[in-house]
Structure 1
Amino acid sequence: MPVHYNACFSPSTFSLTGIPQLEAAHVWISIPFCSMYLIAVLGNCTILFIVKTEPSLHEPMYFFLSMLAVVDLVLSSTMPKLFSIFWFDNKEIVFHACLFQMFIIHSFTTIESGFFVAMAFDRYVAICAPLRHKTILTHSVVARIGLAATLRGVLYISPLPLLVHRYRYFLTNVIAHSYCEHMAVVMLSCEDISISDIYGMAIGFLVLILDSLCIGLSYIFIFRAVMSLATLEAWLKTFSTCTSHICAILAFYIPIAVSSLTHRFGHNVAPPAHILLANFYLLIPPVLNPIVYAVRTKEIQKKLAKMLSWARGEARSLMYALWLRFL
């Protein structure tokens, strides 16, 4: 099919619509979104602070949790642009800034998936080879695994914005999305997008399927080791160390899988539903990860309780000092 470039142009900026068809409700929609954003930032900063200041938490699982918190903070950093759309109708985004946002969102989502695989490997070693856990997962090995997951995300995703950068002609500069999602931008091009489409779909399925298989394989060995334990109490105690990881995995993979499948195959799904799903898969993991680990991990609970107790004491002291001053 020939391309009619007369109807196309080369934009220097794009315009993000936010949530299509729900523009009148943007202010109301921003309330839960802003609340989730603040919880995500506060929760992940708290996790980083607790792990850094508590020597007993300087173990592989908590190092990976810290890496996860950093990734979640980076993903959450895309939210202020959404709020500027909701509150100030600031929809414009420069072309290169759009490509950078695309890279950040997709690469750090891939990096987060890699960290979940690393955490599954940590749980496998801790349960199946507990006596060798510290010798296998030394600090240097944990650092190299984190670096490998980061480089994989960067290398996998870098071609996506580079391919989009080659496109010069677009039917419109209005992106029916709240952020620069890869296919939402690519679909606007007047040029042949087959390479971008195939590569994006291949990487998406490769990461989703390959990482899910690696995590699933780890848990098959974990289940075998747990089932061989003599008592139900030992079974529950051992498996309870994995529940936080399982909850975090479900919170990450289910929204992203539903959003990806809806975008590719859900042609009858209303645009607002698709865009809301796409935003939820950026917000739900950063919100739930610190909550899940805080609720399910006794060491983090103890440190958090100490922090809250110290904060209450400082607040009482401050109030008492102010009372004396104005008495």
Structure 2
Amino acid sequence: MTATETEISTPASTVTSESLIASGRRTIAIEQASVAALLERINEDFSKACKLLLACKGRVVVTGMGKSGHIGNKIAATLASTGTPAFFVHPGEASHGDMGMITKDDVVIALSNSGSVSEVVSLVPLFKRLGTPIISFTGNPNSPLGLASDIHLNTGVDQEACPLNLAPTSSTTTALVMGDALAIALLEARGFTAEDFAFSHPGGSLGRRLLLKVSEIMHAGERLPVVGEQTLLRDALLEMTSKGMGLTAIVNEQQTLVGIFTDGDLRRSLDEGLNPITATIDALMTRNCVTIRADILAAEALKVMEDHKINGLICVDEHKRPVGAINMHDLLKAGVL
């Protein structure tokens, strides 16, 4: 038999698009039903678990073996990033030194669908001796882990999405969703804000959007385009070009902002037939323009631009003197958009 004949005879060659789509949809339907069943389990036990975690003086320690461990790792990360200090401990490593990371002030969340995984169950006496409360996620409240826990949350499923009913699929999904439910309930109870979240994610685009201030990216000092209100249009255009902003602030003799002139204003003035050689900027500028303060968040500046359908803003101080300018390109470059 040739290599080509061997490839043709493999099972994959007989699989149809219809069967693959049906399998994917069946998996989603089974897991969807498993998650829906959790709704009635968000009860007094769930509330007790939340209150225990809120009262925790230490950290939340999440543990689990195998696939449950992978889910536990994600739950710990979600808790930590939403205001509940948490970390994951592998049960095997805990038996070989990492128990030293856990204190009586902590709370343990232990995951095991069967509730009988030896690596996790063997840690229970150590948690008890330490006086560390245990919240368990299992599919069997009468399991060793379920019975030994201070609070048990049922994450059991009627069936796994795996057609052999063996590979953890639906059960890991429900455990993950229960973890998310805890994390979000705690987030809301703590009054955790978007700015708090950004401090946990300072390196990402979310952190930039929520922490970056206008003063950090605006054109200021020599980079700020500004002209007097009697300036000729041609000179104002030179100022805009040299500063590369597409706009310029207009000030009076007291250096107070009286208006703004933009590329859009230039197009409108040319449409009206004004002479660009002799016209002065005060006849063409936009008076009573929208302004912002330099100490606001860049995300707020973006919202102001979007609300007013403009591409640039002048930043002013308490005396309405221009101190900076910002446009959409600056926000894009800073990763705010």
Larger Rg: 2
Q: Does 1 or 2 have the higher relative contact order (CA < 8 Å, sep 6+)?
A: 1
TM-score normalized with structure 1 length: 0.21
TM-score normalized with structure 2 length: 0.21
More helix by share: 1
More strand by share: 2
